[in-house]
Chains A and B, each alone.
Chain A
Amino acid sequence: MMRFMLLFSRQGKLRLQKWYTATAERDKKKMVRELMQVVLARKPKMSSFLEWRDLKIVYKRYASLYFCCAVEEQDNELITLEVIHRFVELLDKYFGSVCELDIIFNFEKAYFILDEFLIGGEIQDTSKKSVLKAIEQADLLQEEDESPRSVLEEMGLA
Chain B
Amino acid sequence: MALKIVKGSIDRMFDKNLQDLVRGIRNHKEDEAKYISTCIDEIKQELKQDNIAVKANAVCKLTYLQMLGYDVSWAAFNIVEVMSSSKFTYKRIGYLAASQCFHESTDVIMLTTNQIRKDLSSPNQYDTGVALTGLSCFVTPDLARDLANDIMTLMSHTKPYIRKKAVLIMYKVFLKYPESLRPAFPRLKEKLEDPDPGVQSAAVNVICELARRNPKNYLSLAPLFFKLMTSSTNNWVLIKIIKLFGALTPLEPRLGKKLIEPLTNLIHSTSAMSLLYECVNTVIAVLISLSSGMPNHSASIQVSFSRHAHTFSLKYLGLLAMSKILKTHPKSVQSHKDLILQCLDDKDESIRLRALDLLYGMVSKKNLMEIVKKLMLHVDKAEGTTYRDELLTKIIDICSQSNYQYISILVELTRLEGTRHGHLIASQMLDVAIRVKAIRAFAVAQMATLLDNAHLLTGNTQRNGICEVLYAAAWICGEFSEHLEEPMATLEAMLRPKVATLPGHIQAVYVQNAAKLFATVLRGQEGAPADSTVAQETSQLLIDRLPLFVQSSNLEVQERASCILQLVKYIQKLQQKDVEVAEEVTALFAGELNPVAPKAQKKVPVPEGLDLDVWINEPPSGSESEDEGRKSKGKAVFAKDESRHTKPRYTEVDEKELAKRREVRKAEQANNPFYIKASPSSQKVYQDGVGVEHIPVVQIDLSVPLKVPGMPMSDQYVKLEEERRERNKADKKKKKDKKKREKGEKGRRRRGDSGPESEEDITPAHMVDIVTEEMPESRDNHIRSDPDL
Contacts and interface: CB of A to CB of B under 8 A. Distances in A.
Given A78-B273, A104-B22, A108-B60, A24 B103 contact: yes
A138 interface: yes
Interface stretch (B11-19, B596-604, B762-770): B11-19
B351 interface: yes
Given A14-B68, A46-B350, A154-B53, A124 B165 contact: yes
Interface string B351-369: 1000000000000000000
Contacts of B161: 134
Interface string B501-528: 0000000000000000000000000000
Nearest to B140: A22
Interface in A67-97: 74, 76-79, 81-82
B239 interface: yes
B67 A107 contact: yes
A120 B243 CA distance: 19
Contact of A119 (B103, B133, B234): B133
Given A78-B277, A79-B239, A108-B60, A124 B168 contact: yes
Nearest to B9: A155
A29 B132 CA distance: 26
Given A22-B138, A81-B274, A104-B22, A142 B92 contact: yes
B347 interface: yes
Contact of B93 (A14, A20, A108): A108
Interface string A123-158: 111110010001001100110011000010011110
Given A76-B278, A142-B89, A119 B73 contact: no
B676 interface: no
Nearest to A80: B274
Contacts of B89: 142, 145-146
A77 B68 contact: no
Most B CB contacts (10 A, CB to CB) among A16, A45, A77, A78 go to A78
A96 B101 CA distance: 30
Contacts of B124: 141
Contacts of B212: 74
Contact of A141 (B64, B126, B236): B126
A23 B106 CA distance: 11
Contacts of B63: 107-108
Contacts of B164: 124-125
A32 B316 CA distance: 24
A105 B22 contact: yes
Contacts of A108: 18, 60, 63, 92-93, 96
Nearest to B319: A47
B471 interface: no
Contacts, number: 166
Contacts of B312: 45-47
Chain A interface size band reads 35 or more
A1 B209 contact: yes
Contacts of A156: 5, 9, 51
Contacts of B104: 22
Given A45-B312, A123-B236, A157-B5, A111 B96 contact: yes
Contacts of A76: 239, 243, 274, 277-278, 281
B69 interface: yes
Interface in B174-210: 197-198, 201-202, 205-206, 209
Contacts of B234: 126
B721 to A, nearest CB: 32
A48 interface: yes
Given A17-B67, A125-B198, A141-B124, A49 B278 contact: no
A150 B71 CA distance: 35
A157 B9 contact: yes
Nearest to A149: B53
A112 B89 CA distance: 12
B136 A49 contact: no
Contacts of B349: 46
A25 interface: yes
A126 B200 CA distance: 11
A68 to B, nearest CB: 14
Given A22-B138, A25-B73, A119-B136, A137 B126 contact: yes
A45 B312 CA distance: 7
Nearest to A154: B53
Contacts of A25: 71, 73, 101
Contacts of A46: 312, 347-350
A61 to B, nearest CB: 13
B172 interface: yes
Contacts of B404: none
Interface in A28-79: 29, 32, 43, 45-51, 74, 76-79
Interface in B312-332: 312-313, 315-317
27 contacts: A18-B137, A22-B104, A22-B138, A48-B313, A76-B243, A76-B277, A76-B281, A77-B277, A77-B317, A81-B274, A81-B313, A108-B18, A112-B96, A119-B132, A119-B133, A122-B168, A122-B202, A122-B209, A124-B168, A124-B202, A125-B164, A125-B198, A130-B198, A134-B161, A138-B126, A145-B87, A156-B9
Given A45-B347, A120-B168, A137-B126, 10 more contacts: A22-B140, A25-B73, A46-B348, A47-B312, A108-B18, A108-B63, A108-B92, A115-B133, A124-B165, A125-B201
The 3 closest A-B pairs by CB, nearest first: A78-B274, A155-B9, A22-B103
